[in-house]
Copies of this chain bind each other. A is one copy, B any other.
Amino acid sequence: MTVINIFLTDELGETLDDFVHDERRFTFARLGSDGPRQLVEGPAYVFVDWVMDDMAGLEMCRRLRADQRMGDSHVTMVLESDDIEDRRRALKAGADDYLVGPLDRTTVLDRVLALQSERQPRHATQRLEFGPLVIDMAALQARWAGEPVQLRPNEFRLLRYFAENANRVLSREELISGLGKQEPPIDERTVDVWVGRLRRALKSAGAGNPLRTVRSLGYVFDLV
């Protein structure tokens, strides 16, 4: 079982004490005013609260961002009130996102699980899994819910790139360079054709149409 690391500042920790000691799958840790009180393996999810009338929260955010050991972490700023200036400042201080407190168990866990599923893949190089999609790098073969997807080389690369960047809008430009086609320069509209061909392949393998067009921007691979 994967262990998920969550850091909470003291105040939030108190609020959530009932489940801090309860969950097994998660590592909860307290965050002192001088930084994380313990180190963990792997990426962590940090919730920093605002702390009224003081920069403490922002300052903490900045330090975490600067801290090499926490490089991969996802920092969520917990605002006290829904103030527009506060939000801006939170993001500027390096928060990855924000939400308005107070927090409860469900919110924290939902948020963490959502983020988790986004960043899942990355590690295994031979076999990538994204929900119903399995990409076998060794066999250069993809399956959707067990069903093999008939792909030509370029489509395979495209699908892989989409899967590795699921739930993110990818511009045509990014897709072109993502597939390593700089030379000769490729017409952006060609991406439309790639996507069309990939869609057809996915469809005949029984996947619906997970590739959503975002008008005038690009395409997203929607993964629930």
- Chain A residues in contact with chain B, CB under 8 A? 53, 55, 58, 62, 65-66, 74, 82, 84-85, 87-89, 91-100, 111, 114-115, 117-118, 122, 124-130, 136, 138-141, 152-153, 164-169, 212, 214-217, 220, 222-223
Contact = CB atoms under 8 A, between A and B. Distances in A.
Contacts of A100: 129-130
Given A82-B166, A169-B140, A97 B124 contact: yes
Contacts of A96: 88-89, 92-93, 122, 124-126
DSSP class of A's interface residues: helix, strand, loop or mixed?
Answer: mixed
B84 A94 contact: no
> What are the nearest 10 A-B pairs in CB distance?
A139-B167, A99-B129, A138-B168, A97-B127, A96-B124, A94-B118, A140-B169, A139-B220, A92-B96, A97-B126
Contacts of A129: 97, 99-100, 111
A114 B65 CA distance: 10
Given A87-B55, A141-B222, A164-B87, A125 B130 contact: no
Contacts of A223: 82
Copies per complex of this chain: 2
A153 to B, nearest CB: 6
Given A98-B128, A167-B138, A215 B91 contact: no
Given A84-B165, A97-B125, A65 B140 contact: no
